[in-house]
Chains A and B, each alone.
Chain A
Amino acid sequence: METQTQAKSQEKPTGTIRMTGAEAVVRSLLNEGTEILFGYPGGAIMPVYDALYSFQKELHHVLARHEQGALHAAQGYARVTGRVGVAIVTSGPGATNAVTGIADAMMDSTPLVVISGQVGSALLGSDAFQETDVVGVTQPITKWNFQVKKAEDIPYAIARAFYIARSGRPGPVLIDITKDAQFASFDYQYEPVRYIRSYRPTPKVDHEQIKAAARLINFARKPLALVGQGVILGNAEQELLDFLKKSGVPAAWTLLGLSAMPSDHPQNVGMLGMHGNYGPNIKTNEADLIIAIGMRFDDRVTGDLKNYATNAKVVHLEIDEAEINKNVHADVPVLGDVKQTLPLLTETISQGDHSAWMDEFRACDRIEYDRIIREELAPSKKGMTMGEVIHKASKAFNDDAIMVTDVGQHQMMASRYFRFKQTRSVVTSGGLGTMGFGLPAAMGAKLGAPQRQVCLFVGDGGFQMTIQELGTIFQSKIPVKIVLLNNNFLGMVRQWQELFFDSRYASTELINPDFQTIAKGYHIETVKVTEREDLDQAIAKMVAHEGAFLLEVVVEKEGNVFPMVPAGASVSDIRLE
């Protein structure tokens, strides 16, 4: 794009400004504080792109190579900044390509506003060129969506979209705008939305619930806190630390709750769930109280619900009423934003000491270390493990980078072995488990936190699902560090095949291209490591390099992630091998 041109609108004395719907889209985004958006142009969204051309200084548009990439980048941006990610796509295939990102954001409560172009309103419903019923298609996977057919409705629709996306439990919102509404002129005025009659984003705190929860906490002998993304979304990290300090309760985290508290916090007992740590899983069924803080008891966390938290009462701090009793019965629900409820709870509980109970977790840690971690991080075998690469990378980044992952074995390994000092340092696809998420999400994360190092871990399978985004990284000069853990397999599926399908490796072995040549084609600096002795130096080179960097590490072909709670099994049946 060229230098900024003059905006076409003219001030009118009434305080409104006459402009097109397309310009109103851009102005509304600016009014909501948008600085960056990710997208891909096409017929039905061209008027908005034309308007964007006039606002290049105020609004940075990042051209992705595929709409899915634009969406995941917006997600990455939203996750590290806590702001609303914005994506813009055309009608039909543009919008359907965005669907995976929208569904992913819905599952992981990521605030997004997606603007999609639509065919002219006169053509709606007629199977026009590039027409898809996007509002219908995205209805179950958006927090809210809306079709705009008149330019006058654009400011209100966008104001509502931002309010809904970021308030309460955040989520994706889609605004579908017909082409004629983009072309039409009207008198623009922007009014942010702060209230919707039918929408109560944050339930009012009930002090009786706080008292009841405090009673249970005070009397519990073996309490366990489960920290979810609600803490991060609510900016309640300090409130969490205060609660942990006073209560003395051991705290485990869900995948999306990772980095809400520092890795080296004395009460941090590790990751929950299928490939989580041994202690928090096995101890879930010994605990007499579960304190769930902004988490939703996903099946990957709970395993078999009938044999989950069998000896425990449950206190559930949650902003979304629909999550209460959805999977696990809450003896005491504490509705509200954890930013509000945690301090009230901390105030109400008495000083606790659970050091003997904490020691039991540390004993579990020693078992896990002896049986799994030592060999994973310092293998006695020849082949490199994912764990050792991740461990070394984490250290090289001083345990303070933003970790982005794709989906699969490397994702679990990265969550287990990468370490964190500050919050909002993890971008991963949790609920939807979207392969191909990593590379574009890392771009968005880096653009959202340019002062921080962003380290992506990706497998050879997921990398190829959105590998075209290397083009975006090249064009937009996004200095992400990509660690490709290449085992020439779809590793997680292969692991399941080995364990549960009699090692019948159906369609999981990949014959891969030369990733070095591909990176070079995009002018991205790259190194390939096949021997352990070269690893440290390569990682150091990656960390020091100023631009984007691909570090490809050929890891052992048939490594497995352990511990593991097999699907449908109880957390007590966690396997160490």
Chain B
Amino acid sequence: MQQEFTLSIFSENHVGLLNQITTVFTRRNLNIESLVTSESAIAGIHKFTIVVFSSREEIEKVARQIEKRIDVIKAFVLTEDEIIHQEIALYKVPTRTLLNGNEIEKLVRQYGARILEITEEYTVIEKTGHHKETQELFDKMDQYGVVQFTRSGRIAVTKAKAELLDNYLRKAELDKQELN
């Protein structure tokens, strides 16, 4: 069964890692819906958050093959119920559409969006939320003419207490001590 998965991948912060990770998807002809890279809570460790539609069976294989890359520390396969996630969207509309009636202002209030900048020519509005929410706002605002729109990839944290990686790092530290 195809469903949405969020992969949380932790790695060392080296050149070329993004390519190493994405080729695993490319080989299996899997389309990446969204991808965000950032630092994690652990110093020196980088985090990739990737959203993809796949089957449970396939995504587990993908995760193992990603983990196999030397500089990847761990890849976790997460579903919607295990994470809190957000995306951010920016909408640029001509300022005159704001002035013609108060529809856009209403939408901003209704959707909990905020205005980042207003010039004589354009206004930039920002909304964070789930994909569905930012899309809904886009559909409504587009009636008044959105001239530019962009949406970030998904960022997510798990509902688990600590970073999922902590256990792994503790074990790795023990392995290292065993060696010495």
Contacts and interface: CB of A to CB of B under 8 A. Distances in A.
A197 B13 CA distance: 12
A194 B12 CA distance: 17
B12 A197 contact: yes
Interface string A313-328: 0000000111011100
A516 to B, nearest CB: 45
B172 A197 contact: yes
A295 interface: no
Nearest to A173: B70
B73 A140 contact: no
Interface in B155-180: 169, 172, 175-176, 179
Given A197-B12, A198-B12, A198-B73, A139 B67 contact: no
B27 A195 contact: no
Given A135-B16, A136-B19, A139-B19, A321 B179 contact: no
A164 interface: yes
Interface string A182-225: 00000000000011111110000000000000000000000000
B4 interface: no
Interface string B5-24: 00000011001100110010
Interface stretch (B57-65, B76-84, B129-137): B57-65
B68 interface: yes
Contacts of A326: 61, 64
A136 B15 CA distance: 11
Interface in A286-345: 320-322, 324-326
B64 A321 contact: yes
Contacts of B19: 136, 139
B70 A199 contact: yes
Contacts of A325: 57, 60-61
A143 interface: yes
A496 interface: no
Contacts of A197: 12, 73, 169, 172, 176
Interface in B25-81: 27, 57, 60-61, 64-65, 67-73
A144 interface: yes
Interface residues of A, number: 21
B78 to A, nearest CB: 19
Contacts of A199: 70-71
Nearest to B60: A325
Contact of B16 (A139, A143, A196, A322): A139
Interface string A119-145: 000000000000000011001100110
Nearest to B74: A198
A326 B27 CA distance: 14
B73 A322 contact: no
Contacts of A147: 15
B72 A198 contact: yes
Interface string A143-170: 1100100000000000000001000000
Given A139-B20, A325-B57, 4 more contacts: A136-B19, A198-B12, A198-B73, A200-B175
12 contacts: A136-B16, A136-B19, A139-B20, A140-B27, A197-B169, A200-B175, A320-B68, A321-B67, A321-B68, A322-B61, A325-B60, A326-B64
Interface of B: 11-12, 15-16, 19-20, 23, 27, 57, 60-61, 64-65, 67-73, 169, 172, 175-176, 179
